[in-house]
Amino acid sequence: MWLFRYFILPGLAAVIIMTLFPAGAFAGASINIPAGSGIYGELERLEVKGLLKSSMLSTKPFTRIEGARLAGEAEFNWEVLPEGNKKGQAGEIIKRLKGEFGGESSSPAMFIKPIDGPYAKFLYSASSPHFTDINNNGDRFSEGMNLRAGFSLNAGFFDSVALNFTPEYRLDEGGSRGRLLYGYLNVDLSGLLIEAGRDSQWWGPGFHGDLLITNNARPFDMVKLTTARPVVLPWVFGRLGLFKPTAFLTRLEEDRDFPKANLFGMRLDFKPTPRFQFGLSRVFMFGGKGRGGLDAGDWLNVLIASDSAEHSASAIDGNQIASIDASYVYVNKNSYIPFSGVKLYTEWGAEDSSGDTKTPSGRANMYGAFIDEPFRLEDIDFRIEWANTARSARYGPQWYTHWKYTTGYTYEGNVIGHHMGSDARDLFLRAQWHGRSGALAGIEADRESSGVHSISGETKRDWLSADFSCPYKDVRISGGLGFEETDSPREGRNSNTAAWINLGWYF
């Protein structure tokens, strides 16, 4: 497969090199910032304001120590700016992040709170909701009242081991139950970070969705290897910029066509300049009950996408997806351009192969823009994203599907990648106002179309919502009201209203 052979394999080589030569500075282990945390949004605002040059925000999660390092970098770059250039909320954002990460200390002990962030979430939906379930760690709200409550238990050992345990209680029309939302162990070996346990991931620069890995599905029970922070390659290769490799292996659920199928993923982030960032990602579904495992020769054939591995008659033919993503940050210094900064990003994906040329049998793409202070409206930002897995009538329905793994690219019924699924298109808009105390108010709209090339007809879903978030002493209160409408050729037209309020305690 041309995309795998010529783009992903160089990334794999870099992953191997950096695994052998991890970051030399000992940093110590800490727990992760969850993939859906608002902290990443604050860091992205600092990035678009030109205060972060070594950030790699396209691969989440990363540790709280890495978050503290980025906050410190932003603080340094802010302090050296001339007083006349210190505009906007950057100073307030940095202050909040420094408070979140325990001041200026980089000691691992500062990032281990034995009990952290108790929270409660209440949601009411007039009927079974759709949009409130998006990118929600596989959680599905039901019609009527829904309650979620939980907290994090954390521990640190020997400055190189960190443990997180996040149980959650759920109550809705289906009854009450408990679930372990996150539970993992982080071990830092002189810059090489090993994670084992349950955690969510997000691969790519998107906010509303990415093509390969998001937190739309339940967090994986996995083993993951990465570096604790971006690294510089040794010798003359140091001129290439910053790199960050990630690889994981997980086993999927029992209730699927091939129970406990395996999913292996590799990603390489590459930042040649402070403004450009690229990512190479690849995932491979293989094995499971009823299919054989892979020996060393099989792994080589899979990695180079040889005919023996990619042909439908092959015993080791698996579901492979790859993508290339890129982002560019422009910090505006021209008074005639009507915004202070913008981040442009895109992702292009390919799935499996077909024909003599081994070209991808499925393709998809995503584009986005994050604009800081549009039309010079201070404290406002705006985002637009467009994603498309329905690029043709022939291949659109094949995205996230596979002839052998008929359950598809899902985990416990949720798409692992972009929530819209196969043969679909999604347009997302969001505007936000930020208060200097950390308050936030937003409005967003989404148009999702699925089954675009279906014979039975296209299903359209529309979403419009307003939300807020406000800190008060040791509590953060957030909530919102949303309206969704579905127009389906099978179910007709129907609408739904959802309202929610969340309480989070911080001490």
pLDDT grade for 10, boundaries at 50, 70 and 90? very low
CA distance 278 to 326: 4
Neighbours of 403 (CB within 10 A): 11
Question: Cβ distance 197 to 185 under 8 Å?
Answer: yes
Element (H, E) at 279: strand 276-286
The domains of the chain are located at 2-505
pLDDT at 71 over 70: yes
The lowest-confidence range among 113-117, 247-251, 258-262 is 113-117
Whether pTM exceeds 0.85: yes
Rounded to 5°, the CA angle 199-204-206 comes to 105
d(CA 196, CA 180): 14
* Beta-bridge partner residues of 217: none
Q: Of 92, 105, 100, whose CA–CA distance to 49 is shortest?
A: 92
pLDDT interval class at 6 (50, 70, 90): very low
- In whole angstroms, give the CA distance from residue 469 to residue 479: 7
Residues with Cβ within 8 Å of residue 174, at least 6 apart in sequence:
142
SS3 content of the chain, % helix, strand, coil (to 5): 20, 45, 40
Is the pLDDT score of 310 beyond 90? no
Q: Could you tell me which residues are beta bridge partners of residue 351?
A: 321, 362
CATH number of 2-505: 2.40.160.130
Q: What is the DSSP string of 348-381?
A: EEEES-BTTTTB-SEEEEEEEEEEESGGG-TTEE
Alpha helices in 287-406 (DSSP H): 296-303, 307-310
Name the residue with higher pLDDT: 377 or 87. 377
**Is the Cβ–Cβ distance between 400 and 411 less than 8 Å?**
no
The residue ranking higher by pLDDT, 311 or 210, is 210
- pLDDT greater than 60 at residue 24: no
Give the residue-averaged pLDDT of 219-229: 95
Tokens for 288, please give them. Answer: 């499971």
The chain-wide mean pLDDT, for the chain, equals 87
Q: Which of 68, 73, 93, 80 is nearest to 372 (CA)?
A: 93
DSSP H or E segment with residue 77: helix 64-79
Cis peptide before 61 (omega within 30 of 0): yes
Q: Is the pLDDT of residue 355 over 70?
A: no
Lowest mean pLDDT among 48-62, 225-239, 299-313: 299-313
